[in-house]
Structure formats: structure tokens, C-alpha cells
């Protein structure tokens, strides 16, 4: 068996120890005589598991007590559709800041139900994103229902490096691809959401961290199953939750705590991304990443080679060299390296080494 360095953007690599534990517990878990995936979510054992996972996630992310933590089926895109349903006011406006692809999908999901104001976008005339729009450029709506940002743009490789000040308007942030990668002040956000399949575990479960007072907002007409307040009132067990995913997420969160928590992952993320950005910077233009340095993502690094032929060759040869999933997203092409928490530092070293070697042979 060979597990290879896996740079997949999501679903993404998981810690080997987590997979081993899941394997060991696959047939029988926690003395219940069955797998965790075969028992009722209303069983005492599963309810205890769920409570422990929530407590650990709260510790990992330093979530204040006045925030609810929800574990929901459906992806980050589903939350993008639920945000306006739950928090828009009839006739109100929601402000969106666009710094890449996922900011646009958030708008697409919101438009059918709320008036969307694109308060700022950094999209260039030729469709590129190279930065987060400067706060001074944001045209915020007074008394907007909320302001939405994408904390890390997974495809374009653009990351907010600080929390913007939007006054008293609730700040909502899509942290799908950089949650738990550095300490953040949850209290500066009204709502944080993250699909688990990048930094928190497996696909199929999404974490929503929401200030409890917001759950009192009436929102727009919607089914109960689309109602965050109902999910919160029922501890995310309004219907059958994705129990297996919840369990795997729990193992991953525990692993992150055991490894030293978000401060440690901030150090590792800085080191891993520096290795790859250095290989780009020292390539004399052979590799290109045009994102302004202060907004470069530590999690996802897209880069480009001099020609389509060399890009295709890089994809083939990196795979042959045992480096998985480096092909860029079809929206922008090129190469993309995702360096999530579960990717070990030596994997980034191996990539940087391969990049230098490839350039020496083809540059």
C-alpha cells in the first residue's frame, strides 16, 4: 500500500491516523456491537459522540458560547442558498464582496430570494482575480441584511489576511477552504460556514457557526428543514444527520487538537506555502502566480507554466512522480496545489523539489 502526497482541492487528503482509526472501527465501534454508521443518531452513544465533536470543534476554533455550532448535510453551496432565506428581511439588501469564483456562486444562490448588492469585486476586465478588493473600495449598503465574504478563494488562490470591519452589519464568511488553518476571532463574524471536505474531514457535512441572536431573525418564508433555528433547537438532528461524516469529522478535529491546534497549523501552513511560493519566485518567470503577495492563499496555490504543452506535461510527470491531483481547476487552467492541514510538510517539500527538477529539464 502506498499513500501518495495528495494535493487535491477537495475532497482532500485526510490524516493517515484518522483513516486508520476509522478502518479499525469500521465493523464495530465503541462497544456497541455495530459500526457507527449502522446505529441510530438518537442512540445515547451517537448523541455523546456528537456532543464531544461539537465540544472539540469549539475548543479548536475558540468558538464563544453565544454562538451555535451546526453540523448539516449538504455542502457549502447549500448554505449559500440558505443564508438569505434565513437572514434576509423582506425587501432588504445583502452585500457581497467578490474576490473569486466562490463569491460568485454565493451570489448565484442568493439572487432568487434577496436583492444582491455587489459591494465590491476584484474581477479584472479579462476575468481574472488577483486580490481582495480594498476595504476603501467597498460600497456597502447602509443597514444591509448582511455582508458576505469568501475568506479563501479555493480556485483563484486568494485569501483574506485580516477580518474586514463592516460596523454593525453582520459579517458572513465562507471559510470552506481555510477554516482551522490559523487562529481567527470568531466574535468578529456573525456567521462562518465551511464544507468539511477541505480542512475538516470528509465531504457530506458542513459546519455553520452562527451568533445565536441572529437565529431570532424571521428571514424569508421557507421549509422547516431550511431553517437554521430549527436545526439549532434540535442539535442538528432535525432529520437524520450524516452520521458517518460527523464521526470522521470528529476524528479529524481531535487529530488537529492533538497536533497542537490552529496555532500549529498556522505555522505549518506558512511553511508549506512558503516552499511552493519560493519555488515559483525563484523560477525566473517559468512558473507564474500573479496574485498580489499580500493576498496569496496559504491553502491553494494556482500557478501557470509558459505553455499549454508544458502544463500538460507537468500534470503527467508530476503524477508519474507520485504527486497527486495537481491539475488546475478548469475555470482558470494551469496547476493548483492545495496544502490543507492534513497535507504533511514533506509533501510540500517534495512538490517544490519536483518543480525545480521539472524546470531544470524543461526551462
Ligand X SMILES: *Cc1c(COP(=O)(O)O)cnc(C)c1O
Per CB under 6 A, 159 contacts ligand X? no
Active-site residue, 102 included = yes
Q: How far apart are CA 21 and CA 12, in angstroms?
A: 18
Query: Where does this chain touch ligand X (CB under 6 A) — which range of 58-66, 174-182, 289-297, 304-312?
Result: 174-182
Contact 338, 10 (CB under 8 A): yes
Which position among 29, 95, 198, 246 bears the catalytic label?
198
Q: How far apart are CA 37 and CA 27, in angstroms?
A: 9
Residue choice 150, 181, 243, 289 for contact with ligand X (CB under 6 A): 150
Q: How far apart are CA 157 and CA 162, in angstroms?
A: 16
Q: Which CB, 298 or 352, lies closer to ligand X?
A: 298
Query: Where does this chain touch ligand X (CB under 6 A) — which range of 73-81, 136-144, 210-218, 235-243?
Result: 73-81
Q: How far apart are CA 43 and CA 41, in angstroms?
A: 6
Instruction: State the number of binding residues for ligand X (CB under 6 A).
Output: 12
The values of phi and psi at residue 23, to 5°, are -65, -45
- Return the H-helix or E-strand segment holding 102: helix 101-110
Q: Which CB, 299 or 352, lies closer to ligand X?
A: 299
Which position among 29, 102, 246, 255 bears the catalytic label?
102
Q: Which CB, 56 or 80, lies closer to ligand X?
A: 80
Per CB under 6 A, 174 contacts ligand X? yes
Q: Which CB, 150 or 245, lies closer to ligand X?
A: 150
Contact 121, 100 (CB under 8 A): no
The values of phi and psi at residue 201, to 5°, are 145, -135
Residue choice 157, 164, 195, 328 for contact with ligand X (CB under 6 A): 195
Rounded least distance, CB 166 to ligand X, Å: 19
Which position among 95, 145, 174, 327 bears the catalytic label?
174
Rounded least distance, CB 168 to ligand X, Å: 25
Closest CA to 87 of 207, 170, 186, 185: 170
258 C-beta neighbours (distance < 10 Å), count: 11
Rounded least distance, CB 151 to ligand X, Å: 8
Binders in 92-131 for ligand X, by CB under 6 A: 102
- Strand spans (E) along the chain: 67-72, 93-98, 115-121, 147-150, 152-153, 158-159, 171-174, 191-195, 206-211, 300-303, 335-338
Residue choice 8, 93, 109, 154 for contact with ligand X (CB under 6 A): 154
Q: Which CB, 195 or 250, lies closer to ligand X?
A: 195
Residue choice 10, 84, 202, 328 for contact with ligand X (CB under 6 A): 10
Q: How far apart are CA 140 and CA 168, in angstroms?
A: 12
Q: Which CB, 311 or 338, lies closer to ligand X?
A: 338
Active-site residue, 128 included = no
Residue choice 21, 35, 77, 89 for contact with ligand X (CB under 6 A): 77
Query: Where does this chain touch ligand X (CB under 6 A) — which range of 75-83, 110-118, 210-218, 340-348?
Result: 75-83
Per CB under 6 A, 76 contacts ligand X? yes
User: Would the CA dihedral through 43, 49, 52, 56 be positive or negative?
Assistant: negative
Contact 52, 247 (CB under 8 A): no
Residues catalogued as catalytic:
102, 174, 198
- Binding residues for ligand X, rule: CB under 6 A, are 10, 75-77, 102, 150, 154, 174, 176-177, 195, 198
Amino acid at each position: 500500500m502506498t499513500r501518495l502526497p495528495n494535493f487535491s482541492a477537495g475532497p482532500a487528503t485526510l490524516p493517515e491516523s484518522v483513516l486508520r482509526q476509522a478502518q479499525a472501527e469500521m465493523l464495530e465501534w465503541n462497544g456497541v456491537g455495530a459500526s457507527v454508521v449502522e446505529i441510530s443518531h438518537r442512540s445515547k452513544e451517537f448523541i455523546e459522540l456528537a456532543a464531544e465533536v461539537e465540544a472539540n470543534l469549539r475548543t479548536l476554533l475558540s468558538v464563544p458560547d453565544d454562538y451555535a455550532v451546526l453540523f448539516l448535510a449538504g455542502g457549502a453551496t447549500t448554505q449559500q442558498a440558505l443564508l438569505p432565506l434565513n437572514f434576509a428581511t423582506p425587501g432588504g439588501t445583502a452585500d457581497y464582496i467578490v474576490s473569486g469564483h466562490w463569491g460568485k456562486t454565493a451570489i448565484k444562490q442568493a439572487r432568487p430570494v434577496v436583492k444582491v448588492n455587489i459591494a465590491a469585486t476584484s474581477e479584472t476586465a479579462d476575468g481574472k482575480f488577483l486580490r481582495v478588493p480594498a476595504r476603501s473600495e467597498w460600497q456597502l449598503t447602509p443597514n444591509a441584511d448582511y455582508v458576505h465574504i469568501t475568506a479563501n478563494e479555493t480556485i483563484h488562490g486568494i485569501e483574506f489576511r485580516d477580518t474586514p470591519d463592516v460596523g454593525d452589519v453582520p459579517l458572513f464568511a465562507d471559510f470552506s477552504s481555510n477554516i482551522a488553518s490559523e487562529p481567527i476571532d470568531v466574535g468578529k463574524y456573525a456567521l462562518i460556514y465551511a464544507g468539511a471536505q477541505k480542512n475538516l474531514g470528509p465531504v457530506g457535512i458542513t459546519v455553520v457557526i452562527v451568533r445565536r441572536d441572529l437565529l431570532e431573525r424571521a428571514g424569508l418564508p421557507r421549509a422547516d428543514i431550511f431553517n437554521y433555528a430549527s436545526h439549532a433547537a434540535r442539535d442538528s438532528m432535525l432529520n437524520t444527520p450524516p452520521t458517518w461524516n460527523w464521526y470522521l469529522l470528529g476524528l479529524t478535529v481531535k487529530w488537529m487538537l492533538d497536533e497542537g491546534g490552529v496555532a500549529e497549523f498556522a505555522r505549518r501552513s506558512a511553511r508549506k506555502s512558503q516552499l511552493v511560493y519560493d519555488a515559483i519566485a525563484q523560477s525566473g518567470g517559468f512558473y507564474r502566480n500573479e496574485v498580489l503577495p499580500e493576498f496569496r492563499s496559504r491553502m491553494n496555490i494556482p500557478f501557470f507554466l509558459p505553455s499549454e504543452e508544458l502544463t500538460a506535461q507537468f500534470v503527467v510527470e508530476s503524477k508519474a512522480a507520485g504527486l497527486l491531483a495537481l491539475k488546475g481547476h478548469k475555470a482558470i487552467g494551469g496547476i493548483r496545489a492545495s496544502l490543507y492541514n492534513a497535507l504533511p510538510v514533506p509533501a510540500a517539500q517534495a512538490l517544490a523539489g519536483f518543480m525545480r527538477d521539472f524546470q531544470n529539464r524543461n526551462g
